[in-house]
Structure 1
Amino acid sequence: MIRTLGLLRSLAIYWRPGRQHGLRRMYAPFVSSGDLVFDVGAHMGDRTRAFSDLGCRVVAVEPQPHLVPWLKRLAGGRSQVSIRCEAVGRAPGRASMAVSRKNPTVSTLSGSWRERVTTAMTGFEGVAWDTEEEVEVTTLDRLIRRYGVPRFCKIDVEGWEAEVLAGLSVPIRGVSVEFVSGALDVARECVGLLEALGPYEFNAVAGEGRSWHHEGWLRPAGILDWLEAGADDLPTGDLYARLTAAPGGGPTTGGGME
């Protein structure tokens, strides 16, 4: 019963009417029909569906086995969508995931993140991670060897974002990672990992919003200063990164709303 209530909660949040239109509008400047996208932490598949509706080929990765049937039902069933039941990290293997049956959206592989958000963030005090599940772990590099380099990679894995990027050795044109106010060091680490791969610039979206927080895109030093200063006290959001030069030299084309 608890798990069923958790699934219903996720359905209400991520599949509410009108949400898909906003997601498509957000992602359209980053991708074109036929592009490859990785959705890491696909959960209930709302973003997988948005990318698919834009004509993209999508590899949706979700480690919680009880979510995969819903992911297949809501976002699968299309030839251009591949669903993988595993986590992504810095090295292949197995890992223990702390699962919240009542709030499956905050299930996490990061013990330190879980400890910090429960003490630093309003709304997490009552979250219970009441079971552990061992999950398979792959890497972005392995996914790239299997499917190719994606045009965009969305990463939303509850404090595990830097671990995901640590398993990447080639630049991706567009990347998004979730951040939360109680663990901004994870976002700062993500910026450093991306900066080591190529010339990126950054912006942010507050919460589940659909507009840029900064008027212009920031260089790594600028976004790091913003994060170090507390990210304008945003409780949660997504950090977006886009390459300013294509791998191998020339300028990129497209790459996010201006």
Structure 2
Amino acid sequence: MKGIINLESIWRRSLKAMGLYYTWLFHKERNYPSAAMKASRQFYASFIQEGDLVFDIGANMGRRVGSFLLLKAKVVALEPNQACVAEIEKVYKGWPVTVIPKGVGAEPGELTFFISSNPLMSSFNKEWIAGMQQKFKDKWDKPVQVPVITLQQLIEEYGKPSFIKIDTEGFELEVLKGLQTAVPYLSFEYTIPEPAGKTIACVERIEDLYGGKVLFNICRDEAWQMHFDSWMPAAELLALMRSADFTASSFGNYGDIYVKAV
């Protein structure tokens, strides 16, 4: 088993060195998907139908973009890291995806984006970065100025999406502040521990935007299944999030909160 794992590691490192890793992953997902890839696509199929418009906010290297495209959705992907943008454009060339090299926030303008030594951890949120520096050895030593637009601007230009995925490393609340239109489904990432009650503020923001006509569920650590059998109202989720159980191992180090209009 150790030899197999080492060969797999060498294969992945070689593909990354040649700039072909994400191209290979998308090829694999199309032709011989792993169990996790199948589970991811089946999970998203419960709220993404053929022809739907999907916004991927914080697309990173585009792993979720691939799942959305294979569900025959049209994708608008936002990513402020130029290296990630180049990768998405290369991997999904010829597919119905619009890649926008910008951040998303509460209002249009320009913000400092802190690029991490691990691209998955780049963020606009200095408070979130400070918390992560206590847990990881990554460095956020490449600040760049990037243009920022709002979700509402995207809706006005591209139309109302069926689903919005938000994964912006601690900047989710600012992204949600720029949304004035309720959409059928959306998700946003949480991390534990999280700074200053931002996840709770996100739920409260959504509850207000939807006028209470909204339900929530949780998918932890990319489990590709909802944690709860039944969707819950905001009050029930907020009570859970304020309890010790939420910060225990029950909900992992990170996950996504899913939202549906009712």
TM range (shorter): 0.7 to 0.9
Query: In 1, Cα distance between the equivalents of 2:72 and 2:201?
Result: 32
Structure that is richer in helix per residue: 2
SS of 1:150's equivalent in the other structure is coil
Letter in 1 for 2:214: Y
Which portions of structure 1, spanning 4 or more consecutive aligned residues, are displaced by more than 6 angstroms?
Answer: none
Number of the residue aligned with 2:172: 161
Q: Which structure has the higher relative contact order (CA within 8 Å, separation 6+)? A: 1
* 2:199 alignment partner, one of 187, 191, 194: 187
SS of 2:183's equivalent in the other structure is coil
* 2:225 alignment partner, one of 211, 235, 246: 211
Bigger Rg, structure 1 or 2: 2
Task: Find out whether 1:144 has 2:144 as its counterpart.
Answer: no
* 1:115 alignment partner, one of 130, 146, 151: 130
Q: Which runs of 5+ in 1 are unaligned?
A: 245-258
Deviates more, 1:217-226 or 1:231-240: 231-240
Query: In 2, Cα distance between the equivalents of 1:213 and 1:76?
Result: 35
Instruction: Name the Cα RMSD after superposition.
Output: 2.2
Query: In 2, Cα distance between the equivalents of 1:190 and 1:74?
Result: 32
Query: In 2, Cα distance between the equivalents of 1:61 and 1:85?
Result: 6
TM-score of the superposed pair, with normalisation by structure 1: 0.84
TM-score of the superposed pair, with normalisation by structure 2: 0.83
Q: Deviations over 1:153-172 (max 9, x none)?
A: 00000000010000000101
The 1:25/1:118 distance shift into structure 2, 3 A limit, reads same
Q: Which runs of 5+ in 2 are unaligned?
A: 1-12
Cα drift, residue 130 of structure 1: 1.8
SS of 1:149's equivalent in the other structure is coil
Cα drift, residue 182 of structure 1: 1.6
Assess if the C-alpha contact under 8 Å between 1:203 and 1:217 holds in 2: yes
Letter in 2 for 1:72: E
Deviates more, 1:86-95 or 1:17-26: 17-26
Cα drift, residue 210 of structure 1: 0.7
* 1:74 alignment partner, one of 74, 79, 91: 91
Question: What is the identity percentage for the equivalent residue pairs of Structure 1 and Structure 2?
Answer: 32
* 1:170 alignment partner, one of 177, 181, 202: 181
* Number of residue-to-residue matches in the alignment: 232
* 1:131 alignment partner, one of 138, 142, 154: 142
